[in-house]
Amino acid sequence: MTMNYFRGFLLFLCIVFTLTYDDLSYNKDAYQSHTYPGTVYGAENAVDGNTATCMRTDFIGFNSPDKRMWWKVDLGGEYNIYSVNILFKNYDGYELRQRGRFAGFSLYISNDGDIESSFLCYKDGPELPLLNFSTTCITSGRYVIFYNERLDGVSYPPGYEVSGSVLMELCEVVINGCKMPQVYGTNCDMVCPNNCRYNTCNIQNGDCFECKPGWTGTVCDMVCDGGWYGINCTQRCIGHCLNNVVCNHVTGLCDGSCAAGWKGYQCERGKIFNKQNK
């Protein structure tokens, strides 16, 4: 089997649209929470294009000191993602056991590699997963994180392996998307709208996931309503701009000058005189 055979095979098994997307994860930097003793089970094995080499964590489960595990790949930049394909380790005659070991896993997409600030792409369960797994995950991000756990005191569905013999073994992970920045479409040849935050957008229809500061709308083509500014137009202008002009919809600053009696970065400091304080 050639080094890239499985990666091509996974793409063939996916729906036709996936065939035109790029492989974002091949030979990228990968990391894992802990490794089974030895030198042949590193995280990089899951993105080397060779199905005979697999990453492997140490045991997790009720009779093990480790209850959680994670594996992640750094794509090297923020890309538009379409799908995630995983080939789990199988052993002849032990398919159900293997499916029970991997059952309950989660997939996260992150910009900083931290699960806490990640987007949950997929949560498995309660049925056992296939060992050749694929899911559509239309979002953008830099890190793809595989996570699983077997916690003490938790009742898991039938078929889940829970004892200290639970190993996580990923033989190949393929992230499908667009390698070029700021593009979308089945051929990755259409340009995302100008005001999409991080220059990323929905890989199918070009809608922005978020807008750059000062813009709103599905494709971020509308400025904030008067008196509002910033990301998602959620910040209210302080006011006190000269001639009652509203603040800049991007920065919140008064583009001209401050009204009489006001000063500061956003014209926020001053004293208003009225009959009560004369």
**At residue 278, does pLDDT exceed 70?**
no
- Looking at the fold, whether 129 and 239 belong to one and the same domain comes out as no
- Looking at the fold, whether 54 and 174 belong to one and the same domain comes out as yes
Residue 39 confidence (pLDDT): 83
Residue 241 confidence (pLDDT): 92
**Would 215 be classed as within a structural domain?**
no
- Looking at the fold, whether 158 and 245 belong to one and the same domain comes out as no
| Mean per-residue pLDDT, 26-49 | 96
Q: If you write DSSP's letter for every residue of 166-178 in order, what string do you get?
A: B--EEEEEEEEEE
Share of the chain above pLDDT 90, in %: 80
Residue ending a domain, among 178, 207, 241, is 178
**Would 256 be classed as within a structural domain?**
yes
More confident residue, 269 or 27: 27
- Looking at the fold, whether 227 and 158 belong to one and the same domain comes out as no
**At residue 276, does pLDDT exceed 50?**
no
β strands within the chain, DSSP E: 22-23, 29-32, 55-56, 68-88, 106-110, 119-123, 132-149, 169-178, 183-184, 190-191, 215-216, 222-223, 228-229, 235-236, 262-263, 269-270
| Mean per-residue pLDDT, 92-117 | 96
Per-residue pLDDT band at 63 (split at 50, 70, 90): confident
Residue 181 confidence (pLDDT): 87
- Looking at the fold, whether 168 and 95 belong to one and the same domain comes out as yes
Whether the pTM exceeds 0.85: the reply is: no
**Would 210 be classed as within a structural domain?**
no
Count how many residues are written for the chain. Answer: 278
For residue 15, give its domain range: 5-178
**Would 261 be classed as within a structural domain?**
yes
**Would 198 be classed as within a structural domain?**
no
Identify whether the C-beta of residue 255 lies closer than 8 Å to the C-beta of residue 237.
no
- Looking at the fold, whether 76 and 165 belong to one and the same domain comes out as yes
**Domains: count for the chain:** 2
CATH label of the domain that carries residue 141: 2.60.120.260
